[in-house]
Chains A and B, each alone.
Chain A
Amino acid sequence: MKFIACTEGHSSKIEAFSLEMIAAARSLAQAGDEVVAFFVGRDAEGASASFGAADRLIVARATRSDVIPAETYALLLRDVITAESPGLVLVPYSANGLDVAADIATRTGWPLVSYVNEIKRRGESLTVVAQMYGGKILAECEVPLPAVLMINPGAFAEAMPGPIAAVSVQTIDAEPALTGGKVKMVAIDVPDYADVDLTTAERIVCVGRGIGDEASIDLARNLATMLGAEIAGSRPVVDNGWLPKLRQVGKSGQKVKPKLYLALGVSGAPEHLEGMSQADLIIAVNTDPKAPIFNVAHYGATCDLFDLVANLSDRLRAGSGR
């Protein structure tokens, strides 16, 4: 059986989850199977230098654009699927993967399971474990092959990066598909980190939707100041305009690894955990004892966050003599 591991890279940086897709495929491959990495982008060299854990690499090389519209990625992937007849296509849960996975499943008519954490091979089918309801429920699913899976970043340990033999690399030209595509990239906005760079912060106090309203952010901000910490927020908090975008932690925000991460009223959805589960010390306060944030927390408390902020602030203030 052939496995296609979908990989990505932007601005000459190979995404770490690419190596996870290859590792996931490798973990399922048996004697005689083949793991084929598929890459679309400008950094063909980076892909060749990194994806040695695959048996083969198909590179659709772009020369102009750094960001490949998912439409184009999916179109090129379809051709590869037709040519290779894989048993399984592994797509990362990324901004690109979100558009690619179900598109491919529709065009092939194949089954799709998203948000997958575990995969087991059982003859002609797979059993996979996927997350639902913001990580509160795990679904064990049976998946007849061939199929498409969308895999959570972090679910599989990265394959060893290393070069792949030149004879195992097949290069195709992505430009015709990019030029002929209906979706055109017109701008990339990279944030200015001059104001705040959470990725280098040593201490972070993160507020989630549980904070309730904009005015209450100040309570958490005062606590953060006392702790010498940066204030951060989950997506809904930033979406509501209560904190600037650069202070968002998670999948579409920053990936942080501070010494202290204090999460107040954050449920711990997979997209949030992706940005902070590697922190050295995670303390979570959430009134819901089943909140998934407790699965990654080193210390968890189920009290009201406002009570905790008030009590902790009092003690820190007293301790510092202020």
Chain B
Amino acid sequence: MNILVILRMIPDSAGELQLAEDGRSIDREWLDFQLNDFDDHALEEAILLKEAGGAKVTAVAVGEGANRVLQMAAARGADEVVALQSEEDAMISSREIAASIAAMARAKSADLVLCGVQSSEDVFGQLAPYVGALLDWPHVSGTNRIVANGAVLRVTQERGAGVAVTYELATPAVLGVQTASKAPRYVSGSKLREASKTPIGRAMPESSGFERSAEIITLRLPVQGGSGENLGGNAETVADRLVTILAAKGLARN
């Protein structure tokens, strides 16, 4: 089985996000970029499938720091790594890159395309259904377990309230991974160093093919706070206040 797994580098949302001067993008100058968490799970699922039944895993990374994350992917077990060129200092729109991913899936004779169910920059839509529809392959998003039995996949999808639904489908397919069957593994420094010699292929982007798309006019920060009260940052005074608040509401004790 040939697996193509997509790794998107996105700004660290835990850090501070500031708006750029044009008001339509975020200031990328000082941002840390990291692998989209869900894509990390997709990579893990790809490697687990390879370990379980044999597969060739091609990792495709896009965005700032792609080379670094591709070395990590190689260290974790990816057989081939490719950096997809993207516009510098721009957000990674899954709608924009879907055609390039679909083209690579064809070029690499992929049986399975895996990516994270979502990224924080996919405001114009999610990668798995775009790529699936472009290729006219079945797609399922929000998976937390994928088992391959030859060309037949058993895929478990998370629904609300802890309900899980299992589907069966044949490859070729596109899956949007929510959670890998096992938590993503760590790689040792020595493995990383070894993998740093893995040659990184390059791919040029294709045009998205969409004639009409929505456009961002402005970005803004949400109005902070609402009606909530800020208790500040001193743990002792916060604890004192919370004891009072909880006691007043009859919530302090069993």
Within 8 Å of chain A (Cβ to Cβ): is B51? no
- Complex: chain B residue closest to A240, CB-CB: B183
Within 8 Å of chain B (Cβ to Cβ): is A303? yes
Q: Can you list, as one digit per residue, whether each of B235-250 has a CB less than 8 Å from chain A (1) or not (0)?
A: 1101111110110010
Which residues of A from 254 to 294 have beta carbons under 8 Å from B?
Answer: 254-255, 259-260, 267, 281-283, 285, 288, 290, 292, 294
Within 8 Å of chain A (Cβ to Cβ): is B139? yes
- What's the Cα separation between A135 and B13 when bound, in Å? 9
Is the beta-carbon distance between A71 and B139 smaller than 8 angstroms? Answer: yes
Cβ–Cβ < 8 Å partners of A320 in chain B: 253
Q: With A109-B212, A307-B235, A319-B243 as known contacts, state yes or no: A70 contacts B140, CB within 8 Å.
A: yes
Cβ–Cβ < 8 Å partners of A307 in chain B: 235
- What's the Cα separation between A142 and B235 when bound, in Å? 44
Is the beta-carbon distance between A184 and B168 smaller than 8 angstroms? Answer: yes
Q: Can you list, as one digit per residue, whether each of A197-237 has a CB less than 8 Å from chain B (1) or not (0)?
A: 00000010000000000000000000000111000000110
Within 8 Å of chain B (Cβ to Cβ): is A191? yes
Cβ–Cβ < 8 Å partners of B253 in chain A: 227-228, 316, 319-320
- What's the Cα separation between A100 and B134 when bound, in Å? 13
Q: With A255-B161, A298-B228, A301-B233 as known contacts, state yes or no: A132 contacts B126, CB within 8 Å.
A: no
Within 8 Å of chain A (Cβ to Cβ): is B125? yes
Q: With A100-B129, A187-B166 as known contacts, state yes or no: A136 contacts B228, CB within 8 Å.
A: no
Is the beta-carbon distance between B212 and A294 smaller than 8 angstroms? Answer: no
For chain B, the bracket of interface size reads 35 or more
Is the beta-carbon distance between A245 and B11 smaller than 8 angstroms? Answer: no
- What's the Cα separation between A203 and B168 when bound, in Å? 39
Which residue from B41, B133, B235 sits with its C-beta under 8 Å from A103? B133
Is the beta-carbon distance between A311 and B167 smaller than 8 angstroms? Answer: no
Q: Can you list, as one digit per residue, whether each of A129-148 has a CB less than 8 Å from chain B (1) or not (0)?
A: 01111111111111110010
A227 to chain B, nearest CB (A): 7
Which residues of B from 176 to 226 have beta carbons under 8 Å from A?
Answer: 176, 178-179, 183, 210-226
Cβ–Cβ < 8 Å partners of A248 in chain B: 162
Is the beta-carbon distance between B224 and A185 smaller than 8 angstroms? Answer: no
Is the beta-carbon distance between A299 and B229 smaller than 8 angstroms? Answer: yes
Q: With A147-B214, A190-B163 as known contacts, state yes or no: A260 contacts B251, CB within 8 Å.
A: yes
Which of A28-36, A44-52, A110-118, A161-169 binds B?
Answer: A110-118
Is the beta-carbon distance between A113 and B214 smaller than 8 angstroms? Answer: yes
Q: With A106-B134, A259-B249 as known contacts, state yes or no: A186 contacts B238, CB within 8 Å.
A: no
Is the beta-carbon distance between A186 and B95 smaller than 8 angstroms? Answer: no
Which residue from A102, A294, A312 sits with its C-beta under 8 Å from B130? A102
- What's the Cα separation between A316 and B251 when bound, in Å? 11
Interface residues on chain A, number (Cβ under 8 Å): 101
Interface centre among A94, A99, A147, A185 (most CB of B within 10 A): A99
Within 8 Å of chain A (Cβ to Cβ): is B90? no
- Complex: chain A residue closest to B138, CB-CB: A182
Give 8 closest A-B pairs by Cβ, nearest first: A307-B235, A311-B239, A106-B133, A102-B129, A102-B125, A228-B254, A191-B162, A252-B158
**30 A-B pairs in the complex with CB atoms less than 8 angstroms apart:** A70-B141, A71-B138, A98-B142, A99-B132, A111-B214, A114-B126, A133-B11, A136-B13, A137-B219, A137-B220, A138-B219, A139-B216, A139-B219, A144-B212, A144-B214, A150-B125, A183-B138, A186-B154, A186-B167, A189-B165, A190-B163, A227-B246, A227-B254, A240-B183, A252-B178, A260-B249, A282-B228, A294-B225, A302-B230, A319-B243
Q: Told that A70-B139, A189-B165, A248-B162 touch, could you supply 13 new A-B pairs with CB distance under 8 A?
A: A69-B167, A106-B98, A106-B133, A106-B134, A109-B211, A139-B218, A139-B219, A147-B214, A182-B138, A203-B251, A227-B246, A259-B249, A320-B253
